[in-house]
């Protein structure tokens, strides 16, 4: 008998063959089976999605033209039903094809291995896992009181931790762990994981972090805690920085069940974990959980969905939750769907830092670091304490300008300025990458006097070094300043070694971008300063204040983590709007007050979470073509019955240029679609896809290069 198999493979999202393709096999293959199939001259990895004997309705398919499956990877268990349901859901929700989503979630190297090689790898993994469970020291097991009896790492839980963990046990979730920075959230994550793993010999946990490079400590802590109990291979990572071979091995470990804990970035939400029982999303507010390319999925939102599919508990954690999660965790009586767990206090007697605002309207003209902030930093240095100063702009100066004519260092290919990097005297475009030597004289008028305008971290570092040149450390040595940003950490291992310097105390002042504000557990920092945070207060993006508040809270959370120095720790804000409500709430470390005021504004303006949005972005040779395409597709929606019927529940805004309208000579425009009903928006988008396709083929849309839909966009 000939079986027709619908298989998914990685076909470009909007190509002709967006759906599944049909291949033949002699015997039925269970859905989820991994196979290799021929496509043109190539052989591709693919997943069997549906199959069955040839039906009369398949008559349209000419069996003579169908090709057989080339190889079945039968050493591997098929991808299970919940995994397939997750892929189908993600594809339809984010308006992509299931093939694209499924294949992006699988390690590409699977394609290159024979069944024999795969079987050998799986056997090795199983053997390692079995060896460990035989000789586990019993004293490493968590005791029933929830205290881990581990001699190396004795932990007595705080009252808040104990309470939160028992709530976690007694409820189905999903949970939002709202815990101050330093309240011991990570310890709660590890306790919940420990108890799950101890409760069942094959249960698996997925722990997600925003950016693995920025949170190496979390990985270290999990590996240290669980590696000794379950073997070094029981904790595997999944992130984009891995080699293809590591990615394959870790994926196989998760898929075969040998790995008990998968620690990863957003891509890990698609890890195949047949016994998944717990999903943790650390720093759930972090924008990097949202993918910016391909299927623009939110790993946090998919984690919630996946938890429901698999019957796994989901635990989100943050000191500054996203307003969406905060809103979902309102009391159940008011419609909340998540259970909010609170840990307001820091571990031990650690207090949150005192927030001080410097009114920049009353400082010496064009001063960058106010005299009072400078004095406070100098005082830290003489006491042997550390300070952290951050500014959201890397490079030396954001613009070079001619002092005579109007010339500025614009990028010829983008609607943006090229940034001056003094270290190698280059002008670099942070959007298209164009890098050139700084011209000797103004290219427009020949004036040799071209000057930096504004300030980036590189210039701030230089400036601080000048200001602090006379200041001495307690040991009489000059001040040590280190800068951490995307420029100083480009090389592998650079970030780690710079962070190590901060930890050992070799550094007195740490200068950097928001990169340093997240996650790190620096012990001896007693002063954190935001040099110029005001920009975001008046942004056109309605999420800008949310992001600023969370960034500043996180940054403040870096100060005073060591009890010995906690009581003198301070967060300094240099601002021209010292009485702005955002800063008032920050001063009180009052996230709930801030969230309440933001939610009120969002409700009045019918913004998320009170409405649902999607953006369609188009790229074209000209701005007219990009906008024209979107506006045409919008008009066509009104003429088509399956889309027109939904228009009453939707708002389609006119197309506008994106905030950086041109990158690398490509013009970009976007159109916002909004609805109070998520279901209506979803129905509209899937019907509108076809309209967009058709519109694109119109002669007036010839200049359009590509378009894509972003559902629940984070930046507008």
* Least distance in angstroms from the C-beta of 396 to Zn ion: 17
For residue 92, give the H/E element and its range: helix 81-93
CB–CB of 280/140 below 8 Å? no
CA distance 279 to 290: 17
Size of the site for ligand ADP (CB under 6 A): 15
Q: Which does 179 bind (CB under 5 to 8 A by kind): Zn ion, ligand ADP, none?
A: ligand ADP
Instruction: Output the smallest distance, CB 419 to Zn ion, in A.
Output: 10
To the nearest whole angstrom, how small is the minimum distance from the Cβ of residue 218 to ligand ADP? Answer: 8
186, 339, 413, 618, 652 from 625: Cα distances, Å: 50, 48, 18, 9, 18
For Zn ion, which residue of 447, 631, 640, 659 counts as binding (CB under 5 A)?
A: 447
- Pick the closer one to Zn ion by CB: 52 or 448: 448
Which residue, 181 or 250, has its beta carbon nearer to ligand ADP? 181
Rounded least distance, CB 273 to ligand ADP, Å: 24
Query: Which of residues 178 and 396 has its CB atom nearest to Zn ion in the complex?
Result: 396
Give yes or no for residue 148 binding ligand ADP (CB under 6 A).
Answer: no
| The one among 147, 221, 351, 413 contacting Zn ion by CB under 5 A | 413
Give me the least distance between CB of 352 and ligand ADP, in Å please: 11
Main-chain dihedrals φ then ψ at residue 540, nearest 5 degrees: -80, -10
Q: How far apart are CA 191 and CA 617, in angstroms?
A: 43
φ, ψ of residue 497 in degrees (nearest 5): -70, -35
Stretch that binds ligand ADP, among 50-58, 156-164, 508-516, 683-691 (CB under 6 A): 156-164
Report which of 575, 557, 579, 574 is spatially closest to residue 566, judged by C-alpha positions: 557
Choose among 482, 471, 503, 470: nearest CA to 382: 471
The CA dihedral of 365, 478, 455, 435, to the nearest 10 degrees, is 160
**What's the number of CA atoms in the CB half-sphere (13 Å) around residue 365?**
0
Which of 431, 473, 480, 587 is the binder for Zn ion (CB under 5 A)?
Answer: 431
Q: Which one, of 294, 293, 303, 344, lies nearest residue 324 by Cα?
A: 303
Cα separation, 211 vs 666, in Å, equals 29
- Minimum CB distance to Zn ion smaller for 439 or for 609: 439
Locate 429 and state its tokens: 């475009």
- Alpha helices, DSSP H, located in 367-456: 371-383
The answer to the question of residue 43 lying near Zn ion (CB under 5 A) is no
Q: Which is nearer to ligand ADP, 161 or 457 (CB)?
A: 161
Which option in ligand ADP, Zn ion, none does residue 185 bind, with CB closer than 5 to 8 A by kind?
ligand ADP
- CB-based contacts of 490, cutoff 8 Å, min separation 6: none
Q: Phi/psi at 341 (nearest 5 deg)? A: -115, 130
Site for ligand ADP contains 444 (CB under 6 A): no
Measured distance between the N- and C-terminal CA atoms of the chain, rounded to whole angstroms: 54
Q: Which is nearer to Zn ion, 206 or 399 (CB)?
A: 399
Min dist. Cβ of residue 421 to Zn ion (A): 14
Q: Which is nearer to ligand ADP, 220 or 506 (CB)?
A: 220
Q: Is 379 in the site for Zn ion (CB under 5 A)?
A: no
Interface with Zn ion, residue 405, by CB under 5 A: yes
447 binds, among ligand ADP, Zn ion, none (CB under 5 to 8 A by kind): Zn ion
- 158 interacts with ligand ADP by CB under 6 A: yes
Neighbour tally for 431: CB within 10 Å = 17
**Does residue 453 interact with Zn ion by CB under 5 A?**
no
187 makes contact with ligand ADP (CB under 6 A): yes
407, 563, 644, 653: residue in contact with Zn ion (rule CB under 5 A):
407
Closest to ligand ADP by CB, 181 vs 574, is 181
CB nearer Zn ion, residue 497 or residue 665: 665
**Residue 545, both tokens:** 């204040």
Residue 563 in the binding site for ligand ADP (CB under 6 A): no
Closest residue by Cα to residue 508 from 396, 378, 394: 378
Of 440-448, 500-508, 579-587, 644-652, which segment contacts Zn ion by CB under 5 A? 440-448
Q: Which of 174, 182, 452, 512 binds ligand ADP (CB under 6 A)?
A: 182
Q: Which of 72, 1, 91, 67 is nearest to 33 (CA)?
A: 72
Per rule CB under 5 A, is residue 415 in the interface with Zn ion?
no
3-state secondary structure of 303: helix
- By 3-state DSSP, what share of the chain in percent is helix, strand and coil, each rounded to 5? 40, 25, 40
Please, which residue, 187 or 485, has the CB nearer to ligand ADP? 187
- For the CB of residue 186, give the shortest distance to ligand ADP in the complex, in Å: 3
Given the complex with Zn ion, which of 324 and 410 has the nearer CB atom?
A: 410
Does position 550 interact with ligand ADP (CB under 6 A)? The reply is no
Of positions 190, 429, 616, 646, contacts Zn ion by CB under 5 A: 429
- Near ligand ADP in 340-379, by CB under 6 A: 347
589 near ligand ADP, rule: CB under 6 A: no
Nearer to ligand ADP, 289 or 396 (CB): 289
Q: Which of 155, 599, 656, 666 binds ligand ADP (CB under 6 A)?
A: 155
Rama region for 205: left / alpha / beta (φ>0; ψ in -120 to 50; rest): beta
Across 79-93, b (16+ Cβ under 10 Å) vs e yields: bbebbbebbebbbeb
Binding Zn ion (rule: CB under 5 A), the pick from 411, 482, 527, 556 is 411
- Residue 244 has φ and ψ, to the nearest 5°, of -55, -35
CB atoms within 10 A of CB 559: 30
Q: Are 297 and 291 in contact (CB under 8 A)?
A: yes
Cα-based distances in Å from 448 to 404, 442, 584: 10, 6, 46
Closer CB to ligand ADP, 181 or 322, in the complex: 181
How many residues belong to the chain?
716
> From the list ligand ADP, Zn ion, none, which binds 288 (C-beta under 5 to 8 Å, kind-based)?
none
Does 521 participate in binding ligand ADP (rule CB under 6 A)? yes
Among 375, 445, 500, 660, binds Zn ion (CB under 5 A): 445
Q: How far is the CB of 715 from Zn ion (least distance, A)?
A: 19
Which CB atom, from 251 or from 591, has the smaller least distance to ligand ADP? 591
Smaller CB distance to Zn ion: residue 193 or 401?
401
Residue 432 binds which of ligand ADP, Zn ion, none (CB < 5-8 A, kind-dependent)? Zn ion
b (16+ CB within 10 A) / e for 632-648: bbbebbeeeeebeebbe
Q: Min. distance of Cβ 487 from Zn ion in angstroms? A: 17
Least Cα distance to 46 among 123, 96, 106, 134 occurs for 106
- For ligand ADP, the binding residues (CB under 6 A) are 155-158, 161, 179, 181-187, 347, 521
Residues that bind Zn ion (CB under 5 A): 402, 404-405, 407, 411, 413-414, 429, 431-432, 434, 442, 444-445, 447
């Amino acid at each position: 008998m000939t079986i027709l198999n619908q298989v998914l493979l990685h076909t470009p999202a909007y190509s002709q063959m967006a759906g599944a393709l049909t291949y033949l096999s002699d015997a039925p293959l269970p859905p989820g089976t991994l196979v290799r199939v021929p496509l043109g001259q190539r052989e591709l990895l693919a997943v069997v999605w549906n199959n069955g004997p040839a039906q009369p309705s398949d008559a349209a398919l000419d069996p003579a033209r169908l090709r057989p499956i080339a190889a079945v990877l039968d050493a591997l268990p098929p991808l299970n039903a919940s995994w397939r349901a997750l892929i189908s859901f993600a594809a339809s929700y984010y308006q992509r094809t299931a093939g694209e989503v499924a294949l992006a979630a699988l390690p590409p190297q699977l394609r290159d291995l024979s069944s024999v090689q795969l079987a050998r790898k799986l056997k090795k993994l199983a053997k390692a896992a079995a060896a460990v469970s035989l000789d586990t020291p019993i004293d490493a097991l968590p005791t029933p009181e929830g205290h881990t009896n581990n001699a190396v790492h004795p932990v007595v839980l705080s009252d808040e931790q104990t309470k939160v963990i028992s709530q976690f046990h007694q409820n189905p979730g999903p949970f939002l762990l709202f815990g101050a920075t330093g309240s011991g959230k990570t310890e709660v994550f590890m306790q919940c994981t420990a108890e799950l793993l101890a409760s069942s010999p094959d249960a698996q946990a997925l722990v997600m972090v925003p950016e693995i490079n920025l949170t190496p400590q979390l990985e270290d802590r999990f590996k240290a805690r669980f590696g000794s109990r379950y073997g070094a291979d029981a904790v595997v990572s999944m992130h984009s920085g891995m080699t293809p071979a590591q990615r394959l091995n870790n994926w196989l470990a998760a898929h075969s069940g040998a790995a008990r804990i998968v620690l990863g970035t957003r891509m890990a939400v698609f890890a195949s974990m047949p016994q998944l029982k717990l999903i943790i999303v650390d720093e759930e507010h972090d924008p990097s959980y949202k993918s910016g390319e391909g299927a623009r999925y939110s790993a946090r939102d998919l984690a919630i969905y996946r938890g429901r599919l698999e019957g796994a508990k989901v635990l989100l954690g943050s000191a500054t939750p996203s307003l969406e999660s905060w809103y979902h965790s309102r009391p159940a009586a008011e419609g909340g769907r998540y259970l909010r767990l609170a840990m307001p206090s820091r571990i031990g007697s650690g207090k949150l830092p005192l927030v001080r605002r410097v009114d920049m309207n009353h400082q010496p003209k064009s001063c960058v670091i106010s005299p009072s902030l400078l004095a406070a930093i100098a005082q830290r240095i003489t006491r042997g304490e550390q300070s952290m100063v951050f500014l959201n702009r890397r490079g030396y100066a954001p613009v070079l300008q001619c002092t005579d004519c109007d010339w500025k260092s614009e990028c010829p290919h983008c609607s943006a300025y090229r940034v001056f990097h003094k270290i190698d005297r280059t002008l670099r475009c942070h959007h298209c990458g164009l890098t050139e030597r700084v011209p000797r004289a103004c290219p427009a008028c020949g004036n040799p006097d071209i000057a930096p305008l504004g300030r980036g971290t590189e210039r701030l570092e230089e400036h601080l070094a000048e200001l602090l040149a006379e200041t001495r450390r307690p040991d009489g040595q000059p001040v040590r300043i280190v800068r951490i940003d995307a420029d100083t950490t480009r090389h592998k291992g650079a970030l780690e070694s710079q962070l190590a310097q901060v930890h050992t105390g070799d550094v007195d002042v740490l200068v950097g971008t928001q990169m340093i504000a997240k996650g790190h557990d620096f012990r001896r920092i007693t002063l954190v300063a935001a040099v110029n945070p005001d920009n975001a207060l008046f942004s056109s993006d309605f999420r800008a204040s949310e992001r600023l508040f969370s960034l500043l809270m996180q940054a403040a959370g870096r100060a005073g983590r060591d009890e010995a120095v906690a009581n003198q720790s301070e967060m300094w804000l240099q601002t021209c709007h010292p009485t702005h409500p955002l800063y008032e709430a920050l001063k009180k470390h009052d996230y709930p007050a801030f969230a309440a005021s933001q939610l009120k504004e969002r409700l009045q303006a019918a913004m998320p979470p009170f409405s649902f949005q999607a953006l369609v972005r188009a790229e074209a040779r000209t701005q007219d073509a990009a906008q024209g395409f979107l506006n045409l597709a919008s008009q066509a929606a009104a003429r088509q019955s399956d889309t027109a019927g939904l228009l009453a529940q939707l708002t389609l805004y006119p197309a506008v240029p994106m905030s950086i309208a041109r990158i690398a000579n490509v013009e970009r425009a976007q159109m916002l679609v909004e609805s109070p009903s998520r279901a209506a928006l979803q129905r509209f988008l899937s019907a509108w896809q076809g309209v967009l396709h058709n519109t694109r083929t119109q002669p007036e849309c010839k200049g359009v290069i590509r378009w894509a839909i972003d559902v629940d966009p984070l930046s507008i």
